[in-house]
Amino acid sequence: MSKVHSVKNPIPHIDERAREADHPTSLVAHFGADKPLRLDCGVELTPFQIAYQTYGALNADRSNAILLCHALTGDQHVANVHPVTGKNGWWETLVGPGKAVDTNRYFVICSNVVGGCLGSTGPASTNPATGKVWGLEFPVITIPDMVRAQAMLIDRLGIETLFGVVGGSMGGMQVLQWTAAYPDRVFSALPIACATRHSAQNIAFHEVGRQAVMADPDWRGGRYVEEGTDPHRGLGVARMAAHITYLSDAALHRKFGRRMQDRELPTFSFDADFQVESYLRYQGSSFVERFDANSYLYLTRAMDYFDIAADHNGVLAEAFRETITRFCVVSFTSDWLFPTSESRDVVHALNAGGARVSFTEIETDRGHDAFLLDVPEFIDMVRAFLESAGTARGLTAGH
């Protein structure tokens, strides 16, 4: 375990982060005035750009493309060193040559969501109309907006039907949205640890995070870039609170218990005496290095607004009526942020529509974050599902 980390000022990597927002270290697709993004809020976003990464090669039939959808604080750097933090890609447990999402076999695409801060147009990007950072002038975006932008990217790449759409948490919401909005463009779908709508409890947690950001005096009503500040304390607290929801009581107990951090006895102060405190502070301080506070507000809001059934007369099954997509729904026993009951609701709606759906709940004590971790039973499931779907799609092993 690392030592006590205090939030430092100025925070490291802030310049790299600002640069990545407009000029990302990845592929970028630009969409000009002829291709506006029609947002649910009624605004047409134009021009805009989508930053993305690809791994592997598209086959001659263009039939082996898998779109990975990242979670709230993820980005397009799935399986390469992160340009800001220098850390490994966030899904290297799952994605790479010979891995469950085998880049020798599939053409893997991951794009930063619209509203994000790693190169797709969002509140941290420069508004071409003003020459200033968008900030809160940026229109509010939704999960369907993110998916609409991804579909435009997939069009640009010349791909008609995706072999697979895969994602966990907010990424899983995008997967479900893809299958509801573009049923004939998704051959197989893997929504992991997610739900068709955000629960009241989850909205409540997000509100705590947003209030933490906005309570930071350095937030400056969202104009911190212009004013040369950064609300890293508020964003750090938001991340600390959120991070607890990604774990489980059992996982925290196993990892930290009541153990002390570099000391034998309590200091009788508010220093980080306990390892779990030190760990959370570290999670908060490392997060703010790579993430924009306003972007965090926008993306949490997008999740809050998500409700597929509401877009289909309140009947979830309507969203998946006569779908031809092959589904594999996965949940984790200790995930209390997106509990198994939410995944079962998805499964029941899919059953009602006669969909070809598999579902399993993976036994683990690692909480919501389990989908990002080395959980062999989960990884085997993903591999098996994609392989069988690949056979049905006529993909040959390797190429």
Partner 1 sequence: MTIQSPTLPLIAPAQDYTGEYRSDHLVVAEMVERGSRVLDVGCGEGDLLRLLEQRGVDGRGIELSREGVNRCVAKGLAVIQGDADTDLDSYPNDSFDYVILSQTLQATRQPRAVLENMLRIGNRAIVSFPNFGYWKMRMELLVKGQMPRTENLPATWYDTPNIHFCTIKDFVQLCDEINVELERAVALNSRARPLRLNAPWWFWNMFGEQGVFLMSRR
Distance CA 332, CA 155 (A): 34
Q: Which is nearer to partner 1, 4 or 317 (CB)?
A: 317
Angle at which helices 143-156 and 293-305 pack, to 10 degrees? 100
**Sign of dihedral through CA atoms 78, 81, 86, 88?**
positive
Distance CA 302, CA 296 (A): 10
Q: Which amino acid is at 234?
A: G
357 interacts with partner 1 by CB under 8 A: yes
Q: Which is nearer to partner 1, 104 or 388 (CB)?
A: 388
Distance CA 52, CA 50 (A): 6
Total residues contacting partner 1 (rule CB under 8 A)?
A: 31
Binding segment for partner 1 among 6-14, 64-72, 139-147, 379-387 (CB under 8 A)? 379-387
388 interacts with partner 1 by CB under 8 A: yes
* H or E element that contains 133: strand 132-133
Q: From the CB of 318, what's the least distance to partner 1, in Å?
A: 13
391 interacts with partner 1 by CB under 8 A: yes
Q: From the CB of 394, what's the least distance to partner 1, in Å?
A: 13
- Token pair of 135, please? 């900030």
Binding segment for partner 1 among 10-18, 98-106, 119-127, 383-391 (CB under 8 A)? 383-391
360 interacts with partner 1 by CB under 8 A: yes
Helix (H, G, I), strand (E, B) or coil at 343: helix
Q: From the CB of 351, what's the least distance to partner 1, in Å?
A: 6
Site for partner 1 in 7-36 (CB under 8 A): none
Distance CA 56, CA 207 (A): 39
Among 384, 396, 397, 399, binds partner 1 (CB under 8 A): 384
Distance CA 76, CA 74 (A): 7
Q: From the CB of 57, what's the least distance to partner 1, in Å?
A: 25
From the list 70, 335, 343, 369, the catalytic residue is: 335
Q: How many Cα atoms within 13 Å fall on the side-chain side of residue 243?
A: 18
Distance CA 235, CA 218 (A): 10
Q: Residue 342 in contact with residue 311, Cβ under 8 Å? A: no
Q: From the CB of 364, what's the least distance to partner 1, in Å?
A: 5
Q: Which is nearer to partner 1, 211 or 391 (CB)?
A: 391
Active site residue 169: yes
Distance CA 43, CA 60 (A): 38
Binding segment for partner 1 among 197-205, 219-227, 241-249, 324-332 (CB under 8 A)? 324-332
Q: Which is nearer to partner 1, 43 or 373 (CB)?
A: 373
354 interacts with partner 1 by CB under 8 A: yes
Distance CA 212, CA 281 (A): 15
Specify the pairing of strand 48-55 against strand 27-31.
antiparallel
301 interacts with partner 1 by CB under 8 A: no
Distance CA 117, CA 146 (A): 13
Q: Where are the alpha helices (DSSP H) in the chain?
A: 14-22, 143-156, 170-181, 200-215, 232-246, 249-255, 275-290, 293-305, 316-319, 340-352, 376-393
185 interacts with partner 1 by CB under 8 A: no
Active site residue 368: yes
Among 16, 40, 307, 387, binds partner 1 (CB under 8 A): 387
Among 159, 375, 379, 395, binds partner 1 (CB under 8 A): 375
Binding segment for partner 1 among 140-148, 199-207, 293-301, 358-366 (CB under 8 A)? 358-366
Q: Which is nearer to partner 1, 283 or 388 (CB)?
A: 388
Among 2, 363, 397, 399, binds partner 1 (CB under 8 A): 363
Letter string b/e over residues 139-160, b meaning 16 or more CB atoms within 10 A of that residue's CB: bbbbbbbbbbbbbbbbeebebe
Active site residue 278: no
249 interacts with partner 1 by CB under 8 A: no
From the list 26, 120, 368, 369, the catalytic residue is: 368
Q: From the CB of 194, what's the least distance to partner 1, in Å?
A: 16
The footprint of partner 1 (CB under 8 A) covers 326, 328-329, 347-348, 351-352, 354, 356-366, 375-377, 380-381, 384-385, 387-389, 391-392
Q: Which residues are catalytic?
A: 169, 335, 368
